[in-house]
Amino acid sequence: MTATTIPTTTLTADAVPSTMRVFTANVRAEWTKLRSVRSTVWTLLATVGLAVGFGALIGASQMSSWDNLDAAERLRFDPTSFSLSGLFLAQLAVGVLGVLIVTSEYATGQIRATFGATPQRLTVLAAKATTFTGVVLATGLVASFSAFFVGQAIFASKGLDASIGDPGVLRAVFGGALYLTGIGLLGVGVGTLLRRTAGATAGLVGLLFIVPIVTGFLPSSFQETIGKYLPAQAGMAIFNVIPDPRALTPWVGLAVLLAYGAIALAAGAATVTRRDA
Amino acid sequence: MIELNDVTKRYGSTVAVDGLSFQVRPGEVTGFLGPNGSGKSTTMRMIVSLDAPTSGTVTVDGRPYRDLRFPLRHVGALLEAKAIHPGRSARDHLRWLAESNAISRRRVDEVLEQVGLAEVADRRSGGFSLGMGQRLGIATALLGDPATLLLDEPVNGLDPEGIKWIRQLLRSLAAEGRSVMVSSHLMSEMALTADRLVVIGRGRLITEGTVADVVGQASTGSVRVDTPEPERLRSLLVRAGNTVSTEVDGALVVTGTTARDVGILAGDAGITLYELSPQSASLEEAFMELTRDAAEYTTGAAA
């Protein structure tokens, strides 16, 4: 062979790709990663299934005991918020998926292929979070709207159903999708920070399910001040159409949840560039 | 082109790589040799910015790897086979890698064809054999048609046909003007594949040069001599300060001298010789000799 071809010469003649171009290329790559593993699809289906299934179950049981409720309990009944209660379980699937999109790369060694292909690690993390946000938001919308309409169909038996056009309802149902996205991003952040599936999953479950129980043992004054600022409890304020005096206001609550996610992601970002992969 | 300049990597108090400097040049296959734990993999990981050096600089085409945008187009690396999610197919794995560096989808099919994985490309990679995993790793390295290739133990798990294929592939990549760096524990393999060798031990550079240079540097050069009077010749040689051992067929192997000196000694004593042949050290022996020195040096320095 006489002709020597050194491909780089032709490439360096091109302009150096911009950060934006590296980012969009990585969004496509992350989308392919998500799409090409069967467990992603199952987890997303589980998210919708849990949201609708548990929402329907709890709604039906509430309707069957409706006639025994006292006036105060009936007054507190928020058909929108109630129909979205399955999201409290669905968040587990979304949160674990968020953890796994990072920790499974460390577990399989694929992270070295990822950072080898794109040494701009913050760009990779941003692309991962962006792609995941898109997927979870879309799934969350399906889950939240399905849960709402199934729930209202059940409440209609007692004439208690809310309409999507009622004030605050659309915000709450759309907020359900935002809630799941916030939990998912919290998972991505915790996964990036801890890198191990077991530890990160335990950490996330602890934060969402165990810490609220533990604070339940605290004196009630502490419960009231701390409890509503926990990630899940804060975020679920977005479901409320009838104001709940024990919770934060809807948008503040959601903002608190998103702040948790942002802090976890920032902490993950700070460590991911410093550590050896 | 890869350049390492006084690179040191410490993990706590352990020094994995210690003041290492060398180059991997275009148009050559550079063999990277060292015993297990000598810092080969750490060095290769630093080249692609997976690990950060404690001090010193590593550049690819004059720039740190982490500054490269779409680096797969500059450097292809096989650092460990199966850095892949077991639930994902080979094609999907290559596809996301290609997308991350804006490489065409057609190129994925090309490299799958090139490494002989086209037929199993859509199966879950979790079921791949070591050899198939290795071929996928090589496909990954070739994906961006890079000017520099970095392969850590590429023949691991390959059958003889696969080893021959790798050898030809590396030669042809270098012939195209690419810089090729290959680590291997199979020294004999390096003799057939590499143009130059970089030998390290305990994270330090022991020697570098052409294969012939490195073999020549090793002091295991010896002379085989066959004679009807082995005992007489042996005592003469030992008296002259040489180390002599006896082969199974009764011939003597003399180290620390040359065939010429053995011939003069035998001639002066009137001893008949049937055979007098210089034995050049094999690459394997040269390597053992060189790295043993490194180990002794380190132990001596610590004492």
Q: Which residues of B touch A97 (CB under 8 A)?
A: none
Q: Which residues of A touch B172 (CB under 8 A)?
A: 1
**Tokens of residue B37, six digits:** 């734990």
Confidence of residue A241 (pLDDT cuts 50, 70, 90): very high
Task: Outline where B10-88 has alpha helix (H).
Answer: 40-47
Are residues B211 and B246 part of one domain? no
Domain contains B259: yes
Confidence of residue B157 (pLDDT cuts 50, 70, 90): confident
Contact indicator for A113, B82 with CB cutoff of 8 Å: no
Tokens 């010749």 correspond to B233
Q: What is the dihedral of CA B153, B158, B161, B166, to 10 degrees?
A: -30
Dihedral sign for Cα atoms in the order B183, B184, B188, B193: negative
Residue B234: CATH number of its domain:
3.30.70
Are residues B68 and B202 part of one domain? yes
Are residues B209 and B93 part of one domain? yes
Are residues B155 and B247 part of one domain? no
State residue A177's pLDDT score. Answer: 98
Tokens 């199952």 correspond to A42
Contact indicator for B9, B204 with CB cutoff of 8 Å: no
State residue A8's pLDDT score. Answer: 45
What b-and-e string marks burial along B14-28, b requiring 16 or more CB atoms within 10 Å of the CB? ebbbbebebbbbbeb
Which residues make Cβ contacts (< 8 Å) with residue B168, sequence separation at least 6? none
* Backbone region of residue A110 per phi and psi (left: phi > 0; alpha: psi in -120 to 50; beta: other values): alpha
Mean pLDDT (chain A, rounded):
92
CB pair distance less than 8 Å for A113 and B65: no
State residue B282's pLDDT score. Answer: 64
Closest CA to B71 of B138, B137, B143: B143
- Partner A contacted by B111 (CB < 8 A): no
Confidence of residue A12 (pLDDT cuts 50, 70, 90): very low
Beta bridge partners of B254: B223, B244
Domain boundary among B174, B190, B217: B217
Dihedral sign for Cα atoms in the order A166, A170, A173, A175: negative
CB pair distance less than 8 Å for A113 and B84: yes
Range of the domain at B272: 222-279
Are residues B154 and B86 part of one domain? yes
Q: Evaluate if residue A131 carries a pLDDT over 90.
A: yes
- Partner B contacted by A43 (CB < 8 A): no
Domain contains B124: yes
Are residues B210 and B187 part of one domain? yes
Of A5, A11, A37, the CB nearest to B177: A5
Tokens 């760009």 correspond to A123
**Tokens of residue B10, six digits:** 């410490």
Of B61, B87, B148, the CB nearest to A38: B87
B96, closest residue in chain A (CA to CA): A29
Domain contains B150: yes
pLDDT tens per residue across span B227-251: 999 999 999 999 988 888 888 888 8
Pairs of CB atoms within 8 A across A/B? 123
- Please, is A197 exposed, middle or buried when counting C-beta atoms within 10 Å of its C-beta (0-12, 13-18, 19+)? middle
- Partner B contacted by A271 (CB < 8 A): no
Ranked by mean pLDDT, which of A175-189, B71-85, B144-158 comes out on top? A175-189
State residue B278's pLDDT score. Answer: 82
Q: Which residues of A touch B69 (CB under 8 A)?
A: 16-17, 21-22, 120
Q: Is A70 helix (H, G, I), strand (E, B) or coil?
A: coil
Domain contains B298: no
CB pair distance less than 8 Å for A32 and B73: no
State residue B221's pLDDT score. Answer: 66
State residue B90's pLDDT score. Answer: 95
pLDDT tens per residue across span A178-222: 999 999 999 999 999 999 999 999 999 999 999 988 888 888 888
More confident residue, B145 or B212: B145
B84, closest residue in chain A (CA to CA): A110
Question: What angle do helix axes B105-114 and B130-142 make, rounded to 10 degrees?
Answer: 140
Rg (CA), chain A: 22
Mean pLDDT score, A26-43: 95
Q: Evaluate if residue A225 carries a pLDDT over 90.
A: no
Q: Cα-flanking dihedrals φ and ψ of residue B123, to 5°?
A: -85, 155
Confidence of residue B190 (pLDDT cuts 50, 70, 90): confident
Could you give the CA distance from residue B247 to residue B45 in angstroms, rounded to a whole number?
44
Confidence of residue A11 (pLDDT cuts 50, 70, 90): very low
pLDDT tens per residue across span B50-67: 999 999 999 999 999 999
Closest CA to B87 of B120, B123, B117, B116: B123
Domain contains B240: yes
Are residues B192 and B213 part of one domain? yes
- Partner B contacted by A36 (CB < 8 A): yes
CB pair distance less than 8 Å for A6 and B85: no
Mean pLDDT score, A22-48: 95
Q: Evaluate if residue B303 carries a pLDDT over 60.
A: no
CB pair distance less than 8 Å for A1 and B175: yes
**Tokens of residue A234, six digits:** 């804060």
Q: Evaluate if residue A245 carries a pLDDT over 70.
A: yes
CB pair distance less than 8 Å for B101 and A116: no
What b-and-e string marks burial along B67-99, b requiring 16 or more CB atoms within 10 Å of the CB? ebbbbbbbbbbbbbbbbbbebbbbbbbbbbbbb
- The number of distinct structural domains making up chain B is 2
**Tokens of residue B278, six digits:** 């210089």
Closest CA to B182 of B161, B198, B168: B198
Domain boundary among B163, B191, B217: B217
Contact indicator for A239, A147 with CB cutoff of 8 Å: no
State residue B35's pLDDT score. Answer: 82
State residue A3's pLDDT score. Answer: 45
Q: Evaluate if residue B300 carries a pLDDT over 50.
A: no
Q: Evaluate if residue B207 carries a pLDDT over 60.
A: yes
Site from A100, A110, A123, A274 to mutate, B interface, most B CB atoms within 10 angstroms: A110
**Tokens of residue A129, six digits:** 């979070």
Domain contains B290: no
Of A9, A16, A32, the CB nearest to B92: A32
**Tokens of residue A185, six digits:** 């991003």
Of B48, B87, B101, the CB nearest to A25: B101
Q: Evaluate if residue A1 carries a pLDDT over 50.
A: no
Cα A208–Cα A37–Cα A275 angle in degrees, nearest 5: 65
Domain contains B285: no
Mean pLDDT score, B165-176: 94
Domain boundary among B199, B217, B235: B217
Residue B181: CATH number of its domain:
3.40.50.300
Could you give the CA distance from residue B303 to residue B300 in angstroms, rounded to a whole number?
5
Mean pLDDT (chain B, rounded):
88
Q: Among the listed ranges A110-119, B4-13, B183-192, which one has the minimum average pLDDT value?
A: B183-192
Q: Which residues of A touch B80 (CB under 8 A)?
A: 109, 112
Are residues B237 and B203 part of one domain? no
- Partner B contacted by A123 (CB < 8 A): no
- Partner A contacted by B80 (CB < 8 A): yes
Could you give the CA distance from residue B122 to residue A261 in angstroms, rounded to a whole number?
36
Are residues B136 and B58 part of one domain? yes
Are residues B242 and B188 part of one domain? no
Contact indicator for B95, B125 with CB cutoff of 8 Å: no
pLDDT tens per residue across span A250-265: 999 999 999 999 999 9
- Partner A contacted by B51 (CB < 8 A): yes
CB pair distance less than 8 Å for A37 and B72: no
Amino acid code (one letter) for B49: S
